[in-house]
Amino acid sequence: MRLNVTVNGEARQADDVWEGESLLYVLRERMGLPGSKNACEQGECGSCTVYVDGVPACACLIAAGQAEGRDIITVEGLADGEGLHPVQQAFLEAGAVQCGFCTPGLLVQTHDLLERVESPSDPEIREALAGNLCRCTGYEKILDAVRLAAGRMAGTSR
Ligand code: FES
Ligand code: FES
């Protein structure tokens, strides 16, 4: 099939796509967007999280055929050109990135949380990120990063 999607605001096409291959594969291998990570390919870890029509979803669980016509935003699309998004900057500064496999999914999920809740409580942050597994950080630095980003983004237009 020929797949037509909007990715990070740009109309994109890919040819000779098998309907059953994952959106994650399409993004990484066909569209040159390796930010979203493939850590489990089973919907368990959240490393592949992207926005699909404005809702965070595991790209490894979405078949290419289901993605036709959708609006996709990946971790690359959060940045403003060369400038990092405040959520990305906060993860960097807080030391919330080690191997980085979980980071793209955490960034998208945190972005979504802070779009919905200006100053989330710790339980709200933990709940929002419950589907994103990190094998390295112990989560404390991740919580620090979300609090830092929330503080900086409060009252700004996101
Ligand atoms: S790679 Fe998709 S949830 Fe783990
Ligand atoms: S930084 Fe390695 S899995 Fe989270």
How far, in Å, is the centroid of ligand 2 from the Cα of 106?
10
Q: Which amino acid is at 12?
A: R
User: ∠ at Cα 115 (133, 25), nearest 5°?
Assistant: 45
Nearest residue by C-alpha to atom 4 in ligand 2 = 134
pTM passes above 0.85: yes
Q: What tens digit of pLDDT does each residue of 37-69 get?
A: 999 999 999 999 999 999 999 999 999 999 999
- What's the confidence (pLDDT) of residue 157? 55
